Amino acid sequence: MKKPMNLLLLLMMLTSSFAFAAPAAKEPAPAAPAADAYKPKSTQLHRADFDALIASPEKILVIDLRRPDEVSSIGGFPVYLSVQADQLEKSLSSIPKDRTIVTVSNHGGRSGKAADVLASNGFTVAGYLGAQFYEQEGGKLTKVAIPAPKEPASKEKEKAKPAAKHKH
């Protein structure tokens, strides 16, 4: 009886090592090829380039593609046309063609694409600029606070009225 029991114990020990063994490490699946980042054909402007252009403000148009909250938190330029990146192609007819255009976004991604869109639609484009890179290169951005919403005129009139006196 001892022999079959020993054999059973040996068999259990051998099979238990397989049951509790760590699963074989799998090689990671090959990563999907990364989508190539968009590389603008237009010129990326640096601080000196942009400063030279804004020295003649009557000749250029700065189109800022950032949201208002981005402009207020990061800063922007004193005069610009605000066009959201996803609205640019719909807005082409309202953009003047008699000025050289500089497009602006935070780091140049949106503005690079926008510069290429404008150039392909017959606009004269000097290049694109990242506002944060401009600032890092020593350029000064204008901080603009978003004003608090105004109360409707009807509420302002109510505040101005004296309280009615009731007679009892």
Report the CATH number that the domain containing residue 130 is assigned in CATH: 3.40.250.10
- Show the DSSP H helices in the chain as ranges: 2-19, 47-54, 68-74, 109-120, 131-136, 153-160
Please give the pLDDT value at position 154.
65
Q: What is the pTM of this model?
A: 0.66
Q: Any idea which of 30-39, 43-52, 144-153 has the lowest mean pLDDT?
A: 30-39
Q: Which domain holds residue 53?
A: 47-136
Q: Kindly state the average pLDDT of the residues 5-22.
A: 44
With respect to residue 9, please indicate whether it lies within any of the assigned structural domains. no
With respect to residue 61, please indicate whether it lies within any of the assigned structural domains. yes
Total number of domains constituting the chain: 1
**pLDDT of 146 above 90:** no
With respect to residue 100, please indicate whether it lies within any of the assigned structural domains. yes
47-88, pLDDT tens digit by residue?
999 999 999 999 999 999 999 889 888 988 888 999 999 999
Distance (Å, whole) CA 95 – CA 105: 17
With respect to residue 26, please indicate whether it lies within any of the assigned structural domains. no
Give every CB contact of residue 137 below 8 A, 6+ residues apart in sequence.
Answer: 46, 47
With respect to residue 107, please indicate whether it lies within any of the assigned structural domains. yes
Q: How confident is the model at residue 135 (pLDDT cuts 50, 70, 90)?
A: very high
With respect to residue 121, please indicate whether it lies within any of the assigned structural domains. yes
Q: How confident is the model at residue 103 (pLDDT cuts 50, 70, 90)?
A: very high
With respect to residue 166, please indicate whether it lies within any of the assigned structural domains. no
Burial of 92 (0-12, 13-18, 19+ CB in 10 A): middle
